[in-house]
Every structure is written in structure tokens, then in C-alpha cells.
A and B are shown apart, each in its own frame.
Chain A
């Protein structure tokens, strides 16, 4: 596609439910990132994939968070047993290459609200 596509755009979950957020990066982009953005804050790094390999998951806040990119394109961020503090916008970004000058292209995000 022309840009990074994320779905759903909006998700309301009851506390304790599991949710899955999908990211379709720009075709051919090697690097894929997930960020969490709370209201009025900048994006916070969650995890990084290079192709299908998850090279960094240091930002995942707990073991309830899990991400995968099995074929090196589409990625899914799964949150189990959601809590109210998980409410945020989850941004996916992709990049053609890593390293200097490799700008990130962001999707519009999935806004998760946990009641």
C-alpha cells in the first residue's frame, strides 16, 4: 500500500480481555517498530523487528504484551488480560533500512481504551 496501515483504528476493551492490533507496513520495508503513545506524550518504544526477527523487545511493559511478524511483513501486537493503564494509542512504524537517515513512516495508530 501507499503507507503504513493499522487496524482497528479504535478498540474498546473490558478489563481482562485480550486484544490484537494489526500493522501492515510499507511494502519492502525491512524494519518495523511498535510504539505506545499516551495522551499528551511522545511515542515510547515497545519493540523492533528486522524482517521476521524480533531484535529488541526491551520496551514491552510486561509479559502480557507480545508481538510477532512471522513472514517479515504484517505484524501483530497482542495484549493479554488488558488493564486500564494499557489505554493508549499504539503506533506502528516501518523503515526501508536501519541506520543513519532511515526515517520512520508511521501509521495512524490504534487507539485502545480499556474500561
Chain B
């Protein structure tokens, strides 16, 4: 089974930086994904890490440490449209199924 933990809620100011942490305990590891989900909408892919280190994509960066079972998603230069739920998901050794955390609701305030 999977155990994926992330904070429930975070609040930040427009233009600021927010870091969303995710810890996981899985039987095997085959990649970690971050998805963004606006209320009532489909989750959309943000990032994928399978090797240790930082992956940067515009205002979003994701970091992975496999030895620590830890990842974070960094959102820079926050905009109001970044208010959403951010889902951490792990693919374990089965190579196809994603297991999701409960999501972190980020609220961006003016």
C-alpha cells in the first residue's frame, strides 16, 4: 500500500513563493508526479520526477529525494489563478498505477 502525506491547506500572497511538501512510503518507486486541480475541474499534469534533484518548468519547480521519500513543489511569483488543489502522486513498482495524496489547497490572496 501507499502512504502519501501533504499539508491540507496553505495560504500565500500574490507574487510570493510557496513550497508544498510531500512525503511518501511506498513498496517500490517508479516516479513522482504533481498535478494541479481547480475546483470542479480535471487534474492537470505539472511535473514528473524519477531521479533525485530539481526539475524546473517556468514558475513551477519540483524536487525529489528518493532516499528520504520526499518531494516538494515550488510555486514562484504566485498569481491569483494559482489558487487550486495540488496533488502529489506516486507510481510504485507496478509501473502503471498512480496513488494520490489528499491534496493541498493553496489560496493566493491579493
Taking beta carbons and an 8 Å cutoff, which residues of A are in contact with B? 4, 31, 33, 35, 40-45, 48, 50, 55-56, 91, 98-109
Contact = CB atoms under 8 A, between A and B. Distances in A.
Contact of A42 (B30, B31, B87): B87
B31 A108 contact: no
Contacts of A106: 35, 42-44
Contacts of B94: 56
Interface in B42-85: 42-45, 48, 50
Contact of A108 (B4, B42, B48): B42
B95 A41 contact: no
Interface residues of B, number: 25
B102 interface: yes
Interface string B10-53: 00000000000000000000110101000011111100101000
A91 B42 contact: yes
B96 to A, nearest CB: 5
A43 B97 CA distance: 12
B43 A99 contact: no
Contacts, number: 62
Nearest to A3: B42
B45 A56 contact: no
Interface of B: 4, 30-31, 33, 35, 40-45, 48, 50, 87, 89, 94-103
10 closest Cβ pairs, A-B complex: A42-B100, A106-B42, A98-B96, A103-B45, A108-B42, A106-B43, A42-B102, A43-B100, A42-B103, A41-B102
Contact of A4 (B33, B42, B48, B98): B42
Contact of B97 (A4, A48, A91): A48
A19 B94 CA distance: 30
6 contacts: A33-B98, A42-B89, A42-B101, A100-B95, A103-B48, A107-B42
Given A50-B96, A100-B31, 9 more contacts: A41-B102, A42-B102, A43-B100, A55-B96, A100-B95, A101-B31, A106-B42, A106-B43, A108-B42
